Structure 1
Amino acid sequence: MYLVTFRLDPGEYDAEFHELNDSIQAVAEETDGYRGKRTWNDPASDEVLVVYYWETLDALDAFGADADHKRAKQRWTEWYDAYEVTITDVIETYGSGFGDSADPPK
């Protein structure tokens, strides 16, 4: 499994951002190998972390090839003050579990 952590400092969102964001999320959900996402917000700094769960790098690559996703990446300065993407290969997970909120999301 792979985790893609999208860390962002939000700027101003317009209608086009929301349309593109919804389209990109729909593409992710339709991609074989997409397992879900979790989002955290830091109210003190407004920083946002979104963690996406992928079964394989091939699935992630297929998602990254989407035209809307590529367009959004080119236009990030219009909507974010800063961003960072980290891709992590999960070697192991363990713990007591979180029931219905266990990772990866269902």
Structure 2
Amino acid sequence: MYLVTFRLDPGEYDAEFHELNDAIQVAAEETEGYLGKRTWHAPESEEVLVVYYWESLDALESFGADSDHKRAKRRWTEWYEAYEVTVTEVVEAYGSGFGDDADPPV
């Protein structure tokens, strides 16, 4: 499994951002190998972390080829003050007690 952590400092969102963001989420959900996402908001700042769960690197690369996703990446300065993407391969995951909130989300 792979995790893609999208860390962002939001700027100003307009209607076009929301439309494109919704289209990108649909594209992710329709990509074979997409497992879900989780979003966290830092309590002390505007920073947001979105973690996307992918079954394989091939699935992630397939999503990366989406035209809406590519277009949004080119326009990031219009909507974000800053961003960072980290791709991580999960070697092991374990735990107990989260029930329906266990990762990866479904």
Q: TM-score range by the shorter chain?
A: over 0.9
Give the deviation of 1:77 after TM superposition.
0.2
TM-score by length of structure 2 reads 0.98
Q: Per the alignment, in what secondary structure is the counterpart of residue 51 of structure 1?
A: strand
Give the deviation of 1:62 after TM superposition.
0.5
Supply the AA of the counterpart residue of 1:28: A
The whole-number CA distance in structure 2 between the counterparts of 1:66 and 1:48 is 23
1:47-86 matched pairs, under 5 angstroms: 47-86=47-86
User: Is 1:6 the counterpart of 2:6 in the alignment?
Assistant: yes
Q: Per the alignment, in what secondary structure is the counterpart of residue 12 of structure 1?
A: coil
Counting matched residue pairs gives 106
Q: Per the alignment, in what secondary structure is the counterpart of residue 35 of structure 1?
A: strand
Identity, in percent, stands at 80
TM-score by length of structure 1 reads 0.98
Give the deviation of 1:43 after TM superposition.
2.9
The whole-number CA distance in structure 2 between the counterparts of 1:85 and 1:94 is 24
The whole-number CA distance in structure 2 between the counterparts of 1:97 and 1:72 is 37
Question: Which residue in 1 is equivalent to 2:105?
Answer: 105
The whole-number CA distance in structure 1 between the counterparts of 2:88 and 2:5 is 8
Q: Per the alignment, in what secondary structure is the counterpart of residue 45 of structure 1?
A: coil
My pick for the range that moved more, 52-61 or 93-102, is: 93-102
Superposition CA RMSD, Å: 0.6
Q: List structure 1 runs of 4+ shifted beyond 4 angstroms.
A: none
Structure 1 residue runs without a partner (length 5+): none
The whole-number CA distance in structure 2 between the counterparts of 1:11 and 1:2 is 28
The whole-number CA distance in structure 1 between the counterparts of 2:61 and 2:90 is 17
Structure 1 residues 4-58: Cα deviation after superposition (integer angstroms, max 9, x where no partner): 0000000000000000000000000000000000000013211000000000011
The whole-number CA distance in structure 2 between the counterparts of 1:62 and 1:30 is 11
Give the deviation of 1:95 after TM superposition.
1.3
Supply the AA of the counterpart residue of 1:87: V
